[in-house]
Amino acid sequence: MKDLQNIKQRFGIIGNYEALNRAIDIAVQVAPTDLSVLISGESGTGKEVFPQVIHSHSARKHGPYIAVNCGAIPEGTIDSELFGHEKGSFTGATDSRKGYFEVADGGTIFLDEIAELPLSTQVRLLRVLETGEFIRVGSSKVQKTNVRVIAASNVDVPNAIDSGRFREDLFYRLNTVPIRIPSLRERGEDIILLFRKFAVDFAEKYRMPSIKLDQEGRNMLINYSWPGNVRQLKNITEQISIIEREREIHPHTLKAYLPDYEGNKLPAVIRKDNEKSFSSEREILYKILFDMKSDMNDLKKLVFDLMQQRDIDVPFNDSKSRVIKNLFRDTTPEREAKIADEAPVDISQRTTRSDIQDTEEIVEESLSLSGKEVEMIRRALEKYNGKRKLAAQELGISERTLYRKIKEYGIDL
């Protein structure tokens, strides 16, 4: 415990969160080895401190330590920065230059934002990790280096592998020992400790009294989501220290610096297994189809009632009239009881085999494209007394296609 406090004090690590202490413990344990380490965590959580902890507790502590931000180096020059280049190897290469892996020989190199490396550079890095060999850009001479590699990323590397942006073999080579840094929102009371530390530091820096939080203000900081993590908390503390005249900070003051604050953290709603819900997309589709059929039945009955009220007679002597009669045949009083039985019901109650079969029949009837196509072709042919050319124009298809469909469906003219 004493060693843990000494490490925190030496490297400026504030907090007592269990996952944070665990990360420090792993870093100290792996330090004496030469195993590669992959540090993961959100941006602003302080990942850059842990490679320093590892290096200072290793046998390489007297060797060089180099930190490289892979995302800040242009893709065209990253190979030269890491592995060096020979004179004249590319435009602007007026002299030979050593790369970081050559300079850090016998020490540690920290590759931050490792997922930003181009795939070609990842191949070179994999060779260094496996054999300790590299080649300068523009050279054919193989060189050796003895470097301990520590990498970090704020993106989900397995997702980057799935999308083809990161080599799977390189991931497993780097991820020999994984260390996860917790986000600030997870750390609870550590947020208040960090705020106090930053407030004291800025008070000394700007020669002014330190700011303090009331109880509601402390609760507000703990409940905030902190998308920028420790970096965001430090920036906000500095802003408040400089801008605000009052040294005691209340929630209404904090809200000006946390514009997206949404109040207390709410628990996630988890559905219990015995709660009624749609268990599959198929049941959702059934529910939609039941609703559509109910609406159609209502519409049919409404139009039919209007026609009866206005004493409109619909004869059977033409195709259009027959279609209208077919549409309204289910709205007769004898069919109303059956229509009511087909009204929407709770899908969760349909558990018997017979119910499921009835549902499938309704779907097939409602979604039969071939039946509708035959009906449309018959209506068009009847409208133009069997003249295929005019019927094809009415249907928006070629006469040849119409002839093929007549033959396919066996339509009598």
Q: Is 305 a member of any domain?
A: yes
Q: Are 28 and 64 in contact (CB under 8 A)?
A: no
- Contacts (Cβ under 8 Å, ≥6 apart) of 40: 47, 152, 153, 154, 157, 178, 179, 180, 181
CA distance 77 to 59: 31
Q: Is the domain of 400 the same as that of 292? A: no
pLDDT at 135 over 70: yes
Out of 151, 182, 213, a domain closes at 182
- The pTM for the full model equals 0.63
CA distance 12 to 52: 12
Q: Is 362 a member of any domain?
A: no
Handedness of CA 219, 224, 226, 232 (dihedral sign): negative
Q: What is the mean pLDDT of residues 7-30?
A: 95
Q: Is the domain of 177 the same as that of 205? A: no
CA distance 124 to 129: 9
Q: Is the domain of 81 the same as that of 138? A: yes
Q: Is 273 a member of any domain?
A: no
Q: Is the domain of 85 the same as that of 156? A: yes
Residue 236 host element (H or E)? helix 229-243
CA distance 249 to 217: 7
**Secondary structure (3-state) at 112:** strand
CA distance 243 to 156: 37
Question: Average per-residue pLDDT in the chain?
Answer: 83
Q: What is the mean pLDDT of residues 303-320?
A: 60
Q: Is 401 a member of any domain?
A: yes
Reported as a pLDDT band with limits 50, 70 and 90, residue 324 is low
Decide which of 148 and 92 is more confident. 148
Q: Is 410 a member of any domain?
A: yes
Residue carrying the six token digits 């040849």: 400
pLDDT at 137 over 50: yes
Q: Is the domain of 9 the same as that of 98? A: yes
Q: What is the mean pLDDT of residues 101-114?
A: 96
Reference 253, options 221, 280, 228; nearest CA is 221
pLDDT at 130 over 90: yes
Residue 151 host element (H or E)? strand 148-153
Q: Is the domain of 193 the same as that of 150? A: no
Q: Is the domain of 196 the same as that of 99? A: no
For residue 45, what are the domain limits? 2-182
Q: Is the domain of 134 the same as that of 148? A: yes
Q: What is the mean pLDDT of residues 259-284?
A: 52
**What CATH number corresponds to the domain at position 244?**
1.10.8.60
pLDDT at 271 over 80: no
Residue 229 burial (10 A CB sphere; 0-12, 13-18, 19+) = buried
pLDDT at 335 over 90: no
Q: Is the domain of 46 the same as that of 10? A: yes
Out of 159, 182, 205, a domain closes at 182
Q: Is the domain of 337 the same as that of 286? A: yes
Q: Is the domain of 174 the same as that of 201? A: no
- Contacts (Cβ under 8 Å, ≥6 apart) of 144: 132, 133
Decide which of 58 and 261 is more confident. 58
What does the block give as tokens for 377? 């072709």
**What CATH number corresponds to the domain at position 110?**
3.40.50.300
Q: Are 342 and 297 in contact (CB under 8 A)?
A: yes
| Residue-level pLDDT at 391 | 84
Q: What is the mean pLDDT of residues 321-338?
A: 53
Reported as a pLDDT band with limits 50, 70 and 90, residue 161 is very high
| Residue-level pLDDT at 272 | 43
What does the block give as tokens for 348? 């969760």
